[in-house]
Amino acid sequence: MTDLQTKIEYVPKIGAVYQKRLKKFGIKTVQDLLFHFPARYDDFSEIITIKHARQRLGEVICIQGRIAEIESKNTFRKRMSVIEAVIEDGTGEVKVIWFNQPYIEKSLKEDDCICLAGKISLFKEGIYLNSPSFEKINDIGENENLTHTGRIVPVYPETRGVTSKWLRYIIKSLLYRFAEQIPESLPPEIIKKYKFLPINEALWQLHFPNSFEAADAAKARFSFEELFLIQLNVLRQKIKMQQKRSYECKMNAELMKKFTDLLPFKLTDSQKKCAYAILKDLEKPVPMSRLLEGDVGSGKTVVAAMAALNTAKNCPPFGGQVAFLAPTEILVKQHFKSISNLLKDFDVSVGLLTGKDARIFRKDEVFEVSKKSFLGDLENGEISIAVGTHSLIQKGITFKALALVIVDEQHRFGVGQRDELIKGQKIIPHLLSMTATPIPRTLALTIYGDLDLCLIDEMPKNRKKIKTVIVEPAQRKEAYKFIEKEVKEGKGIFVICPKIESRASKLQSIKDKGGVVGSVNAVASSDFTVQNYPINTLSSLAVNDVKAVKEEYERLSKEIFPDLRITMLHGKMKAAEKEVIMRDFAKGEIDILVSTSVVEVGVDVPRATVMMIEGAERFGLSQLHQFRGRVGRSEFQSYCFLFTTSPDQLNRRRLKALVESDNGFVLAQKDLEIRGPGSLYGTQQWGIGDMAMQGLSNIFLVEKTRQAAKEILENDPDLKTYPQLKERLRAFQQKIHFE
């Protein structure tokens, strides 16, 4: 055992079984153990005399005393081991009972002094402690060096098979051994400026705080540090990008005017502002890195089309090429269609490439081509704008002059995509990433901090507000009647069901997360009271707590709406199959589309006016908002029905927020407040530690860390004078890379 990188295999007292368990939580080294932080603390810091304990019945207290008696019993009937002891401290005595901890018999004997913490209760004429925490001490009155009692005691995150007691014991010995050796990773000027605890002291206080204030001070330090590392990382990325060269695509104002004049509508002010910012970026010799954020239906595609057109026509010497990436084939085809349509009067060739299909739109006509000839046309520059999935950036695909990459709905993905694309290229393409997922400011400034943001924060004027309603079980029938009426008028209906998941696996996953299984039973048994619907429907609802797509499809098509045309759509279907269905739905050949969340992004079906969401409480607000954005794309009044059976008030509050607000940013912020930063898009993939997560709710902290990172990098972009920081950053990047 020599340094922080020592593997846990070499740490004394960690046997093979524990090594395995620890590795499950990603703990591999001494350092990992020291940085495994408590989730909360128990306050056992006040040690009282046994005499006083009598006045504290029902409270958790801490006492010290000598073991006057101890014996082990077996209650055969219950097959349980019981250890009973009597402790006295000169002021009185207390009885102690431990159930099912037979090993205690070996570690404690009469006359030992111990410190105990637990709930004090009345027992016949005396008082007793039931299964208290305890540790041996040398003498009554000793309160130095306590670990499990007589102090503020750390409680570690729920980890199966590894108790907090065990972790305290191991971590404390490692702190004694290593705390002094831990190199300070924060620059001294930052420690000084913010009066942070030095790292070794902070580690001690985080695990074994002297006071809650000290624990908070330690937390503040690590929260800052984690966010600071993220900021350094993205800002360095940004600086690196600014040293690269890109195509300078001059803005052709006349061309842009012609484009907007030909549109059947006027651009909103936000669209104009964003388009202008993007076109200005494209003129610069350094690569653009922009995130275009706008609610579903706010009209991002038109803005992207302007950027694409200008790039195709005005990047020297022959016009630049554009790669337009979308996550699914459905979206790729939709974008191909809308881009071709928007640019049909401008003599640009638009290509489509998916796993199987290759098409080219040129002079008002679409040609099917072989993949080979498509690739040839990319290479010789015949195709100006190529729309595709990942297949567009596979190895072996060469562009003649790739000047702009547009990425739709892939969040963080965009930057990585560009890295793929630029391998071996001298000139780096500009990047425009688009998302309908509103990102709260703290998150935007952190994990998207290397991107410049522009927002489309208004909807086209012709839109009617979507009416959102929480439908109580008793109103279900009424909702169905309404749907029938809409269908008669030729409207399309979406029905979204939560994931296909059996009840058994659901229970298991809840247990795995340390949750309470009882609550699931409550949800299941309180399922819809569907009066007036056939009896077998009721039984199927009771068995499954999740309304799986297939069942819902069967139910709707056979029992509820036997006369309507209903189809289902889910992620396990082939892309071609899904596409046919979406097309039929858009054309009006399907009345009701029952689907999993696969329709979440981008799909445009103007005739759809009702979005029905089953088990709405199971989705995040941002996601529900996305679903809702699938309707309301025409001049007709649209509706969003949220079905829920959850009596949980928190869920109710969330769904109410959706009824009250149609602003994606407000909803994302609510998600952040109600469900915490972990519920937001992007964070999971980003390996953000718990401390940074907590920090993400605090805009001041985020801004401070960003400022600090900027200042450091301004003076020393390569972190030459901060070797420790550089090392931490390297480790951090590696972690993101692997996650």
| Per-residue 3-state assignment (H helix, E strand, C coil) for 365-412 | EEEECCHHHHHHHHHCCCCCEEEECHHHHCCCCCCCCEEEEEEECCCC
Nearer to ligand ADP, 18 or 448 (CB): 448
Rounded least distance, CB 303 to ligand ADP, Å: 8
- How far CA 436 is from CA of 130, 294, 601, 671, in Å, comes to 54, 5, 8, 15
CA–CA separation, 556 and 480 (whole Å): 10
| Nearer to ligand ADP (CB atom), residue 271 or residue 595 | 271
Partner that binds at residue 133, options Mg ion, ligand ADP, none, CB closer than 5 to 8 Å by kind: none
Instruction: Report, in Å, the least distance between residue 661 CB and ligand ADP.
Output: 18
- The site that binds Mg ion (CB under 5 A) totals a number of residues, namely 1
For residue 404, the minimal CB distance to ligand ADP (Å) is 17
Nearer to ligand ADP, 96 or 455 (CB): 455
Out of Mg ion, ligand ADP, none, which partner does residue 646 contact, by CB within 5 to 8 A per kind? none
Report how far Cα 214 is from the mean position of its chain's Cα atoms: 30
Give the residue closest to ligand ADP by C-beta: 299
**Closest distance to Mg ion from the beta carbon of 435 (Å):** 9
Q: Which is nearer to Mg ion, 38 or 602 (CB)?
A: 602
Q: Which does 638 bind (CB under 5 to 8 A by kind): ligand ADP, Mg ion, none?
A: none
Please identify, among the stretches 49-57, 357-365, 594-602, 711-719, the one whose residues bind Mg ion according to the rule CB under 5 A: 594-602
- Based on CB atoms, which residue is closest to Mg ion, 375 or 601? 601
User: Is the Cβ of residue 357 or residue 604 nearer to ligand ADP in the bound state?
Assistant: 604
Taking contact as CB under 5 A, which single stretch among the options 277-285, 482-490, 595-603, 711-719 is the one that binds Mg ion? 595-603
Among Mg ion, ligand ADP, none, partner that 267 touches (CB below 5 to 8 angstroms by kind) = ligand ADP
Q: Which residue lies nearer to Mg ion by CB, 482 or 494?
A: 494
Contacts for 131-137: CB closer than 8 Å, 24+ residues apart: 131/97, 131/98, 131/99, 131/101, 132/96, 132/98, 133/44, 133/165, 134/96, 134/108, 136/107, 136/108, 136/112, 137/64, 137/113
Tokens (6 digits) for 584 = 């039929």
To the nearest whole angstrom, how small is the minimum distance from the Cβ of residue 667 to ligand ADP?
A: 16
Nearer of residues 303 and 422 to Mg ion, judged by Cβ? 303
Quickly list DSSP for 124-193: TTEEEEES-EEEEESSTT--SS-SSSSSEEEE----TT--HHHHHHHHHHHHHHHGGGPPP-S-HHHHHH
Q: What is the closest distance, in whole angstroms, from the C-beta atom of residue 11 to ligand ADP in the complex?
A: 53
Q: DSSP 3-state assignment of 43? A: strand
- Taking the complex as a whole, the smallest distance from the CB of residue 341 to Mg ion amounts, in Å, to 14
Six token digits for residue 160? 């199966």
Closest separation in Å from C-beta 309 to ligand ADP: 15
Tell me the C-alpha to C-alpha distance, in Å, between residue 204 and each of 156, 178, 185.
15, 11, 16
Query: β-strand 385-388 against 350-353: which pairing, if any?
Result: parallel
In the complex, minimum distance from the CB of residue 308 to ligand ADP, in angstroms, rounded to a whole number: 13
Q: Which two tokens stand for residue 245?
A: 């060269």
Residues that bind ligand ADP (CB under 6 A): 265-268, 271, 294, 296-302, 436, 460, 462, 604, 633
Neighbours of 507 (CB within 10 A): 16
Note whether 602 binds Mg ion by CB under 5 A.
Answer: yes
The listed partner (ligand ADP, Mg ion, none) that binds 296, CB under 5 to 8 Å by sort, is: ligand ADP
User: Which residues are CB-contacts of 701 (< 8 A; sequence separation ≥ 6)?
Assistant: 223, 224, 227, 695
Integer Cα distance of 548 and 557 in angstroms:
14
Among residues 205 and 301, whose Cβ is nearest to ligand ADP? 301
The window from 57-65, 160-168, 602-610, 626-634 that contacts Mg ion (CB under 5 A) reads: 602-610
Q: Give the nearest distance from C-beta 449 to ligand ADP in angstroms.
A: 23
- Smallest distance, Mg ion to C-beta of residue 300, A: 5
**CB-based contact 57:43 (threshold 8 Å):** no
- The whole-angstrom separation of Cα 497 and Cα 596 is 5
Take residue 409 and report the two structure tokens written for it. 């709905």
The residue among 629 and 677 lying less far from ligand ADP, judged by its C-beta, is: 629
Which partner in Mg ion, ligand ADP, none is near 414 (CB below 5 to 8 A by kind)? Answer: none
Q: Which lies closer to ligand ADP via its Cβ, residue 42 or residue 409? A: 409
**Cβ atoms of residues 596 and 497 within 8 Å:** yes
Q: Which amino acid is at 684?
A: Q
Q: Which does 383 bind (CB under 5 to 8 A by kind): ligand ADP, Mg ion, none?
A: none
**Cβ-contact 642, 469 below 8 angstroms:** yes
From 62-70, 365-373, 586-594, 599-607, span contacting Mg ion (CB under 5 A): 599-607
List residues near Mg ion by CB under 5 A: 602
